Structures are given as C-alpha cells and as structure tokens.
C-alpha cells in the first residue's frame, strides 16, 4: 500500500498503482477463469511481470508507461484478479451508442505499440472473455444490481415522467421489472459488467491517463439518449451501474489521500471519518474550486448497493433515495426534496425508540445520520436544507407527553403537510401568478428544465393563451430537451436553441421565465449553471426576467458569487461530445499534456439580483429585494406551524 502511495508521486506510475491491484482485489465473481486463460500472451511486458498474468488488456496500453517503473508497484490481491476483464469495456457490442470512440481514442494515445490488429485481437479476446465471465455471474449480479438497474430502465421507458410522480412510479414499477429479467436484460447486465471493468481502469487512472476518458461516456450517455432510445439507454444505465461497482470496490481497498475538500480541515476530517462512501481521489481540478467536494460520478453506487443489507442504521428508503441521487436518477430541487422527505417519512414510520432513549433526541440524531449519508451521495440543495430544518424543528417541538405512535403520526402528517403546502400548493399559486404575466403573442424564453416553469407554460397553454416558447439548452446535461419534448407533445409551439445562440434569439423574446434552486437573502438567484448569462443577456435586451421559485427555497444566506458554494459535476462530461468521435479533441492527450488540463464542470451559478425583474413565489410577485422579508416571515411561520 505504502509503496503504491509513494508511487503516486510519480505521475506516470499512478495508473499502474491503482488499477492493477484494485480491480481484482474484491471481485467476488467467479468470472475470472476464462479471461485468465487468454491473458498470457500479453504478460511478457515488464509491467505484466509484476501484474497478474490475467491482466491482459489493461497492461497492453499501459505497458509503455509501466515499462520503467513497475518495480514500485506491489500488486496485492492479484490472485483472484483473473476476472479483471476490463477488456469488456472495449467490446464493440457495448458501443451501441458511441460506436467506436473508445477504441479510437485508445489507439490514439498509446503509441500504437502493438498495432491495430493486436488490438483487434484483443477485442475478440475480450468478447470471448465476456461471454465466459458474465454468463455465470449473471445470477449473482442480478441480485445486487437488479434494483437500480430496473429503476434506470423504467426511467428510460417513460421519458416523460412528471417529476414528483416519477419516483413513485419508479418505486411501484421497479418491482415487476425486477421479477422478469429477460434475456436481453441479462445481456445488458453482462455488458454493463464489461463496461464496469473498463471504467474501473479508467477510474483508476482518473488522474489523467487516457483511460480516464472512456469512463465518462457510459456515465454521460444515459440522460441524453433517454427519450430516443429506451433500449440503448437501459443498457447504458446498467452499464453505468456496472462500471460503478467495480470501481467502487477497488476504490475501497486503497485510496490515495483525497485533496482537501472543506475549507475547514477539521470538518473535512470529520466528514471523511463518518462517510460511508469513499471520497473520490483528487484529480486535476481548477484551483479556484478546490474547496468544493469533488464530483462523485456514480462510481460509488455499486459499492453502496453491495452494502445495501449491511448498513442497518440507514433506512432502506433513505438508502434508495441516496442511491438515486448518486446515480443522477433524481434531479430537480423539488423532486429531490420530496423524495427525501418521503424517505424520511418512511423511516419515521418504521422507527421505534430504543430503550432508555427519548424519541426526540434519538430521532433527531438518526435523521442527522440520514442527512449526512445523503450529503455524501450528493451535496444537499438549499431547499433540502430548509426542509430538513423544518423536520428537525418539528421533532424538537414534539410534546413530551405524546406517545411514540402519536409522535410518529404527527411527524408524518407534518411532512405531508410540508410537501403539500410548501411545494405542491405553492406551485399552484405560482402558476396562477405567473400566468397573469403571459399575454397573447408573447414569446417566452426558458432555460434548462425547471418543473415550475414547465407547469406555468402548460397552464398558460391550457388557459388558451397564444404564445411561443424558446427553450434554451446547454451542454452537458441537455435537460432542455426533456422539457422541449413535453411541451411539444402538449401542442405548444417551441423553438429550441443552445445557450450560445442566446443573444440571437433574445431580441424577439418578451419574457424570460427561469427556475431557481435557491434564492439568497440579497436576492441572488442560485440556479443551474448558465442561468446567470441568460438573465444578463435578457437584461441587456431589456426583457423582463421572471424567476419562479417556491418560498421554501429561500435561504437567509448571502452569497455574492458562485465560487464559495457550488457543486462540481463530472469533469469528463464537458470534455466529451457524446456520439461524436470526430470532435472529441481532448481524447488523445498524453498524460503529460493532461496535466496541463483542468476541467471545470460547475453545476450552479449565482445571478445577481440586478438582472432579475421579479420573483414569482407562493407569496405573490415580489422584487428580489424582498426576499429577506419573506425569509423573515416564513421562518417564523414554519418554525411555529
């Protein structure tokens, strides 16, 4: 271990250090046999001497690097590493979506030492490997992977789920799906495992080896393809899961010391100690944003899944929600918040006070534990913070005379009420307010996919108003397409454009409707990255900007920029153009070159209040300067309810 850590210091050794030993380390699957038999041919390189003979494909391209310094790399756990068919990741079948990009990039960055045919042979080999390996393991895998996979599949099949309903639907529909694992599904699974291995390698040399590149693909793919290709996306989803698990496992074994993730060292340390998840290692990160916790791109998912039955202190409902956050299946402030509250509700229902403890205290700490778990899966949004604060204050205010069951029902109904009043009803009120601002002949612009804005547009359409919608979208999430689809299906006339073209479309726009993740006391709107530029352009064109946001998302914090608090997305997501090999210019960078590359994928930005004409909230339409008034009044209210 130590040796490996040290080896990290030498940048090129890094990949070796991680990946060889890890992947094998804890794969319980018995798959290894087949590939291992095939591996030897490649093991003649100096690197593979120290590696297991099994490790055919990865060393192949690594061998160049490995050449000099393999000595430093001890390889524990190699014995059972046979299954390491990391190879699988390169198998062509998987590339339904992004056909040949991975191989190409690969070939590009190794100096083609082995030539094209060797790599071809390699594919072939890997193919066979995959069959050998994945079939037997299928049953096993299914048991663990099943659930999330089916969720993903369900999502893929309903490209237009209403946000809040979506997860209910998922919950209900995931069961039947679980039961019937068709051949196709199993197949998908196998492929996913293969992908997993590829990714595991990729993950391992995250720090900038070429291997890092392909890993991002499986991650990114699913959301984009969702509406178009259900099958493909389900495969992709399963792949992602597969990827994650193997990586996760290897991660568990040995971790390089992560970079500082909190400004406060002690807090950081505490967080680390408590964390269920392993912190992803540091990679090339933009200096200004080093204080933000690095993106956990779903790599931890399988690890968590495997722990599903071990971590008893986490209620399964909470666990499930956490996994959904992690996988990115749940997004959108309201959806996340509702899911969390409902999970808590379930947890509270199943809760029983341990002997010699009081409900108030024990439950609070329990909720605290859940919350910290959720934070690990994905940083909380402000709205969730507010909801948690509400719940905790409710718990704290429970009269001591209440019996346990009474207390539990009170809390559950409180949560229900919160969801109803602060989210569902609030949205309805916002709809009505905002619709008064839509006139016939308007051209409304919206950015990304905000569920409130979507509801407003549909509502106004129902009212028979004649207007046009411009949906502005941006990479890498392309959430706007989801919205676009739903609007077009409902018969609205839409224009779709990318953020780059915003100044071109803005002159014909008469109103800009934006959603928000949170609004701070100084009127700053914290929302999906790109919102600020939309608002600024609109301001420059003197188009009124309406921000639609439920009052429970208001926060008393003051934030001036989007640096202090933010969330990092998957850095690889922005360097890739899915499905377009020819434009993935960043793929074939050498290690050294990659060291000069810092990728920054921010999730949020802050829009100064100057650019906002009005905030439409459940308390009516207010200027951004009145946010603190609402916060003041509202806080009173919800602490007292």
Q: Give contact residues for another protein (rule: CB under 8 A).
A: 437, 511, 544, 546, 613-614, 619-623, 625-626, 629-630, 633
Burial environment of residue 24 by CB neighbours within 10 A (0 to 12, 13 to 18, 19 or more): buried
Least CB distance to another protein at residue 424 (A): 19
DSSP state of 440: T
Which distant-in-sequence residues (6+ apart) come within 8 Å of 565 by Cβ?
Answer: 559
Q: Which is nearer to another protein, 136 or 620 (CB)?
A: 620
What's the token pair of residue 593?
Answer: 């070159």
Residue appearing with tokens 């046009």: 468
Is the backbone peptide bond immediately before 476 cis, with ω within 30 degrees of 0?
A: yes
SS3 256: coil
Q: Which is nearer to another protein, 433 or 603 (CB)?
A: 433
Distance CA 56, CA 44 (A): 10
Least CB distance to another protein at residue 510 (A): 9
Q: Which is nearer to another protein, 257 or 623 (CB)?
A: 623
Residue appearing with tokens 């499905």: 579
Residue appearing with tokens 């290709």: 229
DSSP state of 525: E
Least CB distance to another protein at residue 439 (A): 8
Q: Which is nearer to another protein, 270 or 636 (CB)?
A: 636
Q: Which is nearer to another protein, 321 or 546 (CB)?
A: 546
What's the token pair of residue 46?
Answer: 């100096």
Q: Which is nearer to another protein, 303 or 634 (CB)?
A: 634
Helices 382-396/404-417 angle, 10° precision: 150
What's the token pair of residue 63?
Answer: 């061998």
Least CB distance to another protein at residue 443 (A): 14
Least CB distance to another protein at residue 476 (A): 33
Q: Which is nearer to another protein, 275 or 521 (CB)?
A: 521
Give yes or no for a contact between 80 and 27, defined as CB atoms under 8 angstroms apart. yes
Least CB distance to another protein at residue 223 (A): 34
Q: Which is nearer to another protein, 319 or 611 (CB)?
A: 611
Distance CA 336, CA 529 (A): 18
Q: Which is nearer to another protein, 212 or 515 (CB)?
A: 515
Q: Which is nearer to another protein, 405 or 625 (CB)?
A: 625
Q: What share of the chain is helix, strand, coil (3-state, %, to 5)?
A: 60, 10, 30
SS3 56: coil
Beta-carbon count within 10 A of 361 CB: 12
Least CB distance to another protein at residue 602 (A): 29
* Helix extents (H) in 39-84: 46-50, 57-69
Nearest to 544 by CA among 534, 530, 552, 558: 534
DSSP state of 208: T
SS3 470: strand
DSSP sequence for 561-624: SSSSS--B--HHHHH--TT-GGG-TTTT--HHHHHT-----B-EEEE-GGG-SEEEETTEEE-G
Q: Which is nearer to another protein, 201 or 422 (CB)?
A: 422
Least CB distance to another protein at residue 619 (A): 6
Least CB distance to another protein at residue 520 (A): 15
Q: H-helix or E-strand containing 190?
A: helix 183-204
Q: Which is nearer to another protein, 361 or 439 (CB)?
A: 439
Give yes or no for a contact between 615 and 622, defined as CB atoms under 8 angstroms apart. yes
Least CB distance to another protein at residue 483 (A): 23
Nearest to 321 by CA among 375, 365, 279: 375
Q: Which is nearer to another protein, 577 or 622 (CB)?
A: 622
Least CB distance to another protein at residue 538 (A): 12
Nearest to 200 by CA among 187, 182, 185, 215: 215
Least CB distance to another protein at residue 233 (A): 40
In degrees rounded to 5, what are phi and psi of residue 612?
-115, 125
Distance CA 156, CA 177 (A): 13
Q: Which is nearer to another protein, 311 or 621 (CB)?
A: 621
Least CB distance to another protein at residue 626 (A): 4
Least CB distance to another protein at residue 427 (A): 18
Q: Which is nearer to another protein, 503 or 625 (CB)?
A: 625
Give yes or no for a contact between 213 and 587, defined as CB atoms under 8 angstroms apart. yes
Burial environment of residue 421 by CB neighbours within 10 A (0 to 12, 13 to 18, 19 or more): middle
Distance CA 214, CA 198 (A): 8
Distance CA 69, CA 45 (A): 12
Least CB distance to another protein at residue 547 (A): 12
In degrees rounded to 5, what are phi and psi of residue 197?
-65, -40
Q: Which is nearer to another protein, 271 or 629 (CB)?
A: 629
Least CB distance to another protein at residue 561 (A): 22
Burial 192-222 (b: 16+ CB within 10 A, else e): bbbbbbbbbbbbbbbbbbbbbbbbbbbbbbb
SS3 182: coil
Distance CA 416, CA 391 (A): 11
């Amino acid at each position: 271990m130590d040796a490996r850590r040290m080896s990290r210091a030498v940048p090129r050794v890094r990949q070796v250090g991680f990946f060889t030993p890890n992947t094998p380390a804890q794969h319980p699957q018995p798959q290894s046999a087949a590939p291992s038999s095939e591996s030897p041919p490649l093991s003649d390189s100096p690197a593979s001497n120290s590696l297991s003979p099994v490790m055919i494909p990865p060393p192949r391209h690594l061998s160049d690097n490995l050449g000099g310094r393999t000595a430093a790399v001890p390889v524990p756990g190699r014995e059972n590493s046979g299954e390491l068919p990391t190879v699988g990741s390169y198998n062509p079948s998987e590339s339904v979506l992004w056909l040949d990009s991975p191989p190409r990039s690969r070939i590009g960055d190794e100096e083609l030492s082995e030539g094209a045919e060797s790599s071809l042979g390699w594919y072939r080999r890997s193919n066979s490997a995959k069959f050998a390996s994945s079939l037997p393991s299928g049953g096993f895998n299914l048991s663990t992977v099943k659930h999330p996979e089916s969720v993903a599949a369900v999502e893929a099949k309903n490209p237009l789920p209403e946000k809040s309903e979506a997860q209910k639907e998922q919950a209900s529909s995931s069961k039947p799906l679980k039961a019937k694992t068709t051949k196709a599904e199993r197949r998908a699974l196998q492929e996913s495992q293969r992908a997993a291995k590829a990714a595991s390698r990729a993950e391992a040399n995250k720090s900038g080896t070429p291997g890092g590149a392909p890993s991002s693909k499986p991650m990114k793919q699913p959301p984009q393809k969702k509406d178009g290709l259900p099958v493909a996306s389900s495969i992709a989803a399963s792949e992602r899961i597969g990827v994650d698990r193997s990586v996760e496992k290897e991660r568990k074994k040995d971790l390089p010391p992560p970079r500082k993730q909190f400004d406060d060292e002690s807090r950081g340390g505490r967080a680390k100690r408590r964390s269920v998840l392993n912190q992803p290692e540091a990679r090339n990160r933009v200096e200004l944003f080093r204080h933000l916790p690095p993106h956990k791109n779903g790599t931890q998912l399988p690890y968590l899944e495997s722990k599903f039955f071990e971590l008893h202190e986490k209620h399964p409902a909470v666990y499930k929600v956490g996994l959904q956050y992690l996988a990115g299946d749940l997004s959108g402030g309201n959806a996340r918040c509702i899911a969390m509250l409902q999970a808590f509700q379930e947890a509270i229902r199943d809760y029983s006070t341990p002997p010699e403890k009081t409900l108030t205290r024990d439950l609070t700490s329990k909720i605290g534990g859940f919350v910290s778990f959720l934070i690990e899966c994905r940083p909380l949004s402000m709205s969730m913070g507010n909801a948690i604060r509400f719940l905790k204050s409710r718990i704290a205010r429970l009269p001591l005379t209440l019996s346990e069951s009474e207390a539990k029902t009170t809390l559950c109904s409180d949560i229900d009420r919160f969801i109803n009043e602060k989210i569902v009803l609030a949205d309805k009120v916002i709809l009505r307010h905002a619709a008064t601002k839509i006139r016939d002949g308007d051209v409304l612009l919206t950015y990304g996919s905000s569920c409130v804005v979507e509801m407003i547009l549909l509502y106004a359409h129902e009212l028979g108003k004649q207007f046009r919608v411009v949906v502005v979208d941006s990479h890498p999430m392309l959430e706007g397409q989801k919205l676009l689809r739903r609007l077009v299906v409902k018969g609205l006339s839409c224009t779709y454009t990318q953020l780059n073209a915003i100044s071109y479309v803005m002159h014909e726009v008469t109103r800009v409707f934006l959603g928000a993740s949170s609004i701070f006391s100084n009127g700053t709107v914290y929302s999906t990255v790109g919102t600020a530029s939309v608002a600024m352009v609109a301001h420059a064109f003197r188009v009124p900007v309406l921000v639609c946001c439920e009052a429970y998302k208001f926060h008393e914090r003051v934030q001036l920029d989007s640096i202090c608090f933010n969330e990092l997305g998957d850095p690889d997501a922005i360097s890739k153009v899915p499905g377009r090999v020819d434009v993935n210019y960043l793929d074939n960078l050498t290690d050294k070159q990659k060291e000069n590359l810092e990728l920054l994928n921010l999730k949020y930005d802050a829009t100064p209040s100057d650019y906002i004409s009005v905030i439409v909230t459940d308390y009516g339409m207010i200027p951004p300067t009145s946010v603190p008034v609402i916060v003041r009044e509202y806080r009173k209210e919800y602490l007292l309810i």
